[in-house]
Every structure is written in structure tokens, then in C-alpha cells.
């Protein structure tokens, strides 16, 4: 395994890989910031993998000595597109790399089974920098942390709504947070109302957004989301609502017995998947959830009997949310 460089404290090679473009950009920025600013124009060689890239050209750059007391950084974007001769040349180079140079390969995806991935991974334990995207349910805490960079606070509800409206691209989320932080700088906090007022929905509405709004008994939000859905299947949505109501009935039953913590295991779900179920279930009066389950059955029958799907499903949403 290659050792860390003397002086720079960096490994001879890194692979920054993953589809989260904001993470990739932040990782490359941190690495470039390690260069001596006075010699960065001479010691930084940035390339993009193209079909005409030549092995000799890349090897020449990698074996060039840096100017000053800094190190040389050779950065290749879209490394997953490297021509095979260049990839093989880099693999051979990594067996005995230039100790005064750091190679940084940046890729949106690169299989762990590839020779190039394995070659970089052998360089050191921290040579592969994962930029895999967060799952949607993991993003609100990340968004809250991102907001703090702009000097504003944000709660879970506002962050979740921003993810719902913008989608899962951290670059887009960061861009919208910058806009929101300007609007809310005096207050020092971004609220749910700020997000709803200033951020236009660009992400497709997911069924889970609608289910959550109905579970909150927020008719206005639920109907607004429903209207934004593109060619929804009302039969499928009705089925999903039926399943959600059954989960809430289970949550209410366990809550009444003081066993709410068992909900995840009872439903065969992860804790994060049911983290709001108890609070949602408490929003419904006694017997309301069972009544709504019957309403779902009537809606399903009406949909399959040729009723106007928009009217039937809208009436179901109003019934559940308003009673």
C-alpha cells in the first residue's frame, strides 16, 4: 500500500465518486485548496476524460515535479469515461507513483469491480471518497446543516418541504437555500411558510407527499399536491391510502396500550418509516380511522365502476382530512 506523501500529508491518488454533484464539488474544492496559492497555476492540471486523451500525455503530467514547496495535483473529471489505454496506464503508474504528485479521479459512478477502482483503493484507506447521494428521508437534517452555512436556522418541517418541492439534488437544494437565506436574513430563520411562499415546486410530487399530507389531515395541502401530480392512478392512490390508514389504526391501538415504540416491528418497517405515525394517528378522533377505511373501500368500488376518478378521489381526501 502506498504511503502518505511527505509534506503534503496526502495520498498519491484519490477517487471522488458518486452522483451527489455538490459533494463532489466540495471534495475537489477542499483538495485544490491544499495547493500553495502562489504556485497553483503551475501545479494544478485539470482534465476531462475524452476519447482522444493520450496515456503518454497523462503520464507526463503525473511525473512532472511541482514548483515551489507544494505538491502537484492532476485532476481528471468524468474518470468513468477514461479510454482503456489511459486507464491501464494510470493503473500501472499507481504501482510506483510520483511522490510529489496527487492524482484525483472524479467520477459520477465507477464499479468497485473495475481495475481502476481497485488500483486507487489500494493506495490507502481513505483514497476513495464516496459522494453517494442521501436517501430522501435522510435529506432534511442535511438541508438544516446546509442552511446554517448561510447563517440561518431551519426546522425539520421547512427542510422537508424544501426537499419535497426541489427534489433530491443537493446542488439545487443549495441554490434554493441561498435564495431563501437572502429573503430571511433579517429574521435569521427559514420557516415552512417561507418555503411555501418563495420556492416553486419543480420536483414531481411523490405519492408519499400526498399520503403524509392526508395523514396530517391537511386538506388544502393534500388537494394542492394531488392537483400537481402528473397522470395519477386514483386506484393506486386509493390503495396506498388504505394501507396508510391501516398503519395509523395499528399505531393508535399500540399507542393506547403504551406500546407505540413497537410500531415499526409490528408493521415490519424501519423506525424512520413510521417516525410520524403516532403523532398522525392522534389527530383522528375515536372511530374516525375505521370510518375512513370504509370510505376508501367505497372510493375503490366507485373508481372501478366508472365514476369520475378526480371527483371520487377528491371526495375521499376531503372525507379523511375534514371528516
Residues across the chain: 323
Sign of CA dihedral 107, 112, 114, 116: positive
Distance CA 95, CA 185 (A): 52
pLDDT of residue 70: 85
pLDDT of residue 98: 94
Cα distances (Å, whole numbers) of residue 15 to 12, 42, 130, 203, 243: 11, 22, 8, 30, 43
230 SS3 class: coil
DSSP 204: P
Check if the beta carbon of residue 97 is closer than 8 Å to that of residue 58.
no
Rg of the Cα atoms in the chain: 27
pLDDT of residue 41: 87
Averaged pLDDT, groups of 10, the chain, 323 residues long: 57 96 93 90 94 96 92 96 97 95 96 97 95 90 95 94 92 94 94 94 90 96 92 95 97 95 92 91 96 97 95 97 90
Distance CA 99, CA 185 (A): 47
DSSP 47: E
Phi/psi at 101 (nearest 5 deg)?
A: -130, 145
pLDDT of residue 61: 96
Distance CA 323, CA 242 (A): 16
Check if the beta carbon of residue 7 is closer than 8 Å to that of residue 101.
no
Q: Report DSSP letters for 266-303, one per residue.
A: HHT--GGGGTTHHHHHTTSPTTHHHHHHHHHHHHHHHH
pLDDT of residue 1: 42
pLDDT of residue 45: 96
DSSP 108: S
pLDDT of residue 158: 95
Amino acid at each position: 500500500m502506498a504511503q502518505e506523501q511527505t509534506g503534503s500529508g496526502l495520498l498519491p491518488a484519490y477517487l471522488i465518486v458518486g452522483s451527489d454533484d455538490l459533494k463532489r464539488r466540495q471534495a475537489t474544492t477542499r483538495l485544490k485548496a491544499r495547493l500553495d496559492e502562489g504556485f497553483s497555476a503551475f501545479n494544478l492540471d485539470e482534465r476531462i476524460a475524452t476519447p482522444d486523451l493520450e496515456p503518454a500525455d497523462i503520464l507526463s503530467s503525473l511525473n512532472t515535479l511541482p514548483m515551489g514547496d507544494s505538491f502537484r495535483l492532476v485532476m481528471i473529471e468524468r474518470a468513468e469515461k477514461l479510454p482503456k489505454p489511459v486507464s491501464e496506464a494510470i493503473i500501472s503508474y499507481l504501482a510506483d507513483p510520483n511522490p510529489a504528485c496527487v492524482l484525483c479521479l472524479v467520477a459520477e459512478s465507477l464499479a468497485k469491480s473495475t481495475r481502476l477502482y481497485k488500483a486507487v483503493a489500494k493506495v490507502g484507506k481513505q483514497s476513495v471518497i464516496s459522494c453517494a447521494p442521501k436517501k430522501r428521508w435522510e435529506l432534511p437534517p442535511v438541508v438544516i446543516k446546509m442552511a446554517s452555512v448561510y447563517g440561518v436556522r431551519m426546522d425539520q418541517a421547512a427542510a422537508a418541504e424544501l426537499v419535497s418541492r426541489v427534489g433530491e439534488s443537493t446542488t439545487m437544494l443549495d441554490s434554493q437555500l441561498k435564495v431563501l437565506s437572502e429573503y430571511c436574513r433579517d429574521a435569521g430563520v427559514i420557516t415552512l411558510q417561507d418555503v411555501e411562499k418563495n420556492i416553486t415546486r419543480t420536483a414531481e410530487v411523490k405519492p408519499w407527499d400526498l399520503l403524509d399530507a392526508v395523514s396530517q389531515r391537511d386538506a388544502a395541502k393534500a388537494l394542492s399536491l394531488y392537483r400537481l401530480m402528473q397522470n395519477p392512478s386514483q386506484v393506486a392512490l386509493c390503495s396506498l391510502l388504505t394501507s396508510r390508514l391501516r398503519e395509523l389504526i395499528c399505531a393508535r391501538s399500540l399507542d393506547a396500550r403504551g406500546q407505540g415504540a413497537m410500531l415499526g416491528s409490528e408493521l415490519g418497517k424501519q423506525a424512520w418509516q413510521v417516525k410520524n405515525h403516532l403523532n398522525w394517528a392522534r389527530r383522528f378522533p375515536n372511530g374516525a380511522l375505521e370510518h375512513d377505511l370504509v370510505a376508501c373501500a367505497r372510493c375503490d368500488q366507485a373508481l372501478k365502476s366508472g365514476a369520475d376518478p378526480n371527483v371520487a378521489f377528491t371526495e375521499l381526501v376531503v372525507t379523511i382530512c375534514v371528516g
